[in-house]
Structure 1
Amino acid sequence: MWWSAPIARASPPAAFQKDINVTELTSVTLSCDGAHVTLINYGAITADWRIDVDGTATPMILGYQDLNDYPRSPYYFGAIVGRVSNRIGGGRFALPDGTIAKLATNEGATTLHGGPNGLGSVYWSLSKTAEDRAELTYRSEDGEGGFPGCVDVKVVVTLTEKSLAYDMSATVDRPTPISLAQHNYYNFGGTADIWDYRLKMPSHQVLEQSDIGVSTGNIVDTTGSIEDFRAGQSMAAFKETGLDGHFVFDANALEADDLPTVAEMRAPNGLGLRVFSDQLGAQIYTAHGLDSVPGGLNGQTYGRGAGLCVEPQGHPNAVNIAAFPSVMATPDAPYRQVLRLEVLQLEDA
């Protein structure tokens, strides 16, 4: 049986590595019918999302109690990552005109989530446009991180009582790759870990990875294995190995609606999320790289498997694999991604 090998994470889990001036940090809090979400300008991060469960403000994601901890953290908690999310092998790719773009690397020779100064590691402009809505914008200049072209990125976040939506867009002044991902670590109600959660996805294919986590271009059929998520799978199956792989959604599921259901997560307490997305696949990560991370929400210390990441995005390393769907944006074909998260309670089963 084949499964996605866990990828070693180079960042020391107990120590923040970045030396960043946090005086630029700002935040807004959106509210709607008992639900609250806090956003910060650093990394366009969703720092806290809580819903009302029987009068208790219940957390839906991992985060830091002190907002000043985010700029020093290596974990991308709640960030919008890019310009190109996931791993670009060799830290380089060829543009349509044959020019080689050489990128800043941050995982050995690999560029992860846009490199050391990717979108999840810079300060955005943040404005609250309504009680339940906010807008984040960032201009990535030509050559930033080695990526060509000037890019204007915008993320609109909208909260309702039972949902959280991200509308991500980018305009470019020349052809350049864009593939964003929203990097929440989901945890419903402050459980110690997610190994008893269940994940269901319309997917029986996963992208093959090299031993350093870079997509090779091969697609593996997972039918009948622990990575066949069509009927739902307990995350306990990955407790020993961890899981960090990109799963391709079945084509028939993507044709079902303008914004298809691509995943459902459930905790033992009955809380869960339904994920709607217009992307072709998602990275699934079981947070097995966390190890005694202090300062979490409600005073928690996060350990291995404390959260479950479901990150819809373009195929990883598509810039180097011609057979993969293109992630190139152009002035005539700007980038857009829509992600909606719908809260599931016990009665929604």
Structure 2
Amino acid sequence: MSLFPRHVPQDQLRPFGSLHGADVPEIVLRSPGGIEARIIPYGAIVRDLSLPMPDGRRQGIVLGYDSLDGYLADPNYFGALVGRFANRIAGGRFTLDGTAYDLDRNEGGTTTLHGGRGGFSTRLWAIEELTETAVTLALVSPEGDQGFPGTLTALCRYEVSDRSGLRVEVSARTTRPTPVSLAQHSYFTLGARDVRDLRLTVHADRYTPVDGANIPTGALSAVGGTIFDFRSPRLVGAVKS
């Protein structure tokens, strides 16, 4: 079996490995100005994102591995699209419309993290559409997958552009009510520079507080007056945790 679609320029799809008898390609997206993203269908992972520099070199800005084996052994979800439910579900259990559902408790035997051991970050996504600058990946999660109700179809679209850099769009549709939370899990880096010397801007007015077990409390709190307030450029090293 192959995930390589037909009629695609050879320099845009490169062999990256194989899993369960399926060839896993690396998809190369390029903007006219030279922004480049490398995506693999395993986990819908952003393997690399790089920018052209004035001196002619390329600067990678996300953490990743050079082989599929690295991702198969990775406990940190580098670059992955996580689901069915990003973040933690306390006790690995929830009740919906009067019915209790038990999930895979993959963190400490008590908590469901990022959908469980067989979450979306461990699946081979299908390539639905591919252009020079964008790719759409699809995944069908059947009824009862990791304990969740309903069949869920997820779409993840990555697009590079000179104006926006990397744009990520995710969506899902289900056959019945079910919790769903999809998240892109890249770790960003600017190479060997000390992160404390960088200025960071995050366009977010609120954040999700957690309890002592890192379980979201359900509240959405204002970032104002907290260490999470990066609505204006702020020196990372000035933040006291």
The normalised TM-score by structure 2 is: 0.81
How far the C-alpha of 1:51 sits from its partner, in A, is: 1.6
Structure 1 window deviating more from structure 2 (49-58 vs 219-228): it is 219-228
RMSD over aligned Cα atoms: 2.4
How many Å separate the matches in 2 of 1:128 and 1:158?
Answer: 11
Q: From the superposition, tell whether residues 102 and 224 of structure 1 become closer, same or farther in structure 2 (CA, over 3 Å).
A: same
How many Å separate the matches in 2 of 1:36 and 1:221?
Answer: 35
Are residue 100 (structure 1) and residue 96 (structure 2) matched?
Answer: no
Where 2:209 maps in the other structure, the secondary structure is strand
Are residue 53 (structure 1) and residue 65 (structure 2) matched?
Answer: no
How far the C-alpha of 1:56 sits from its partner, in A, is: 1.8
For 2:168, the equivalent position in structure 1 comes to 166
Are residue 43 (structure 1) and residue 43 (structure 2) matched?
Answer: yes
For 2:197, the equivalent position in structure 1 comes to 196
Size of the alignment, in residue pairs?
219
How many Å separate the matches in 2 of 1:72 and 1:172?
Answer: 30
How far the C-alpha of 1:238 sits from its partner, in A, is: 5.5
How far the C-alpha of 1:187 sits from its partner, in A, is: 1.4
How do 1:113-192 and structure 2 match up within 5 A? 113-126=114-127, 129-162=130-163, 163-188=165-190, 190-192=191-193
For 1:303, the equivalent position in structure 2 comes to none
For 1:27, the equivalent position in structure 2 comes to 26
How many Å separate the matches in 1 of 2:189 and 2:77?
Answer: 15
Partners of 1:204 and 1:227 within 8 A in 2 = no
Segments of 5+ residues of structure 1 without an aligned counterpart are 1-19, 242-349
Identity of aligned residues (%): 37
1:27 partner letter: E
How far the C-alpha of 1:221 sits from its partner, in A, is: 5.3
How far the C-alpha of 1:80 sits from its partner, in A, is: 0.6
Q: From the superposition, tell whether residues 40 and 205 of structure 1 become closer, same or farther in structure 2 (CA, over 3 Å).
A: closer
How far the C-alpha of 1:157 sits from its partner, in A, is: 1.4
How many Å separate the matches in 2 of 1:132 and 1:186?
Answer: 21
Segments of 5+ residues of structure 2 without an aligned counterpart are 1-17
How far the C-alpha of 1:166 sits from its partner, in A, is: 1.6
How many Å separate the matches in 2 of 1:23 and 1:193?
Answer: 42
After superposition, what is the alpha-carbon deviation per residue over 1:46-70, rounded to whole angstroms, capped at 9, x for unaligned? 1011121122221121111224311
How far the C-alpha of 1:122 sits from its partner, in A, is: 1.4
2:50 partner letter: R
Where 1:195 maps in the other structure, the secondary structure is helix
How far the C-alpha of 1:105 sits from its partner, in A, is: 1.3
Q: Which has the higher relative contact order, 1 or 2, with Cα contacts under 8 A spaced 6 or more apart?
A: 1
The normalised TM-score by structure 1 is: 0.57
How many Å separate the matches in 1 of 2:31 and 2:201?
Answer: 28
For 1:227, the equivalent position in structure 2 comes to 228
How far the C-alpha of 1:138 sits from its partner, in A, is: 0.6
How many Å separate the matches in 1 of 2:229 and 2:31?
Answer: 36
2:99 partner letter: T
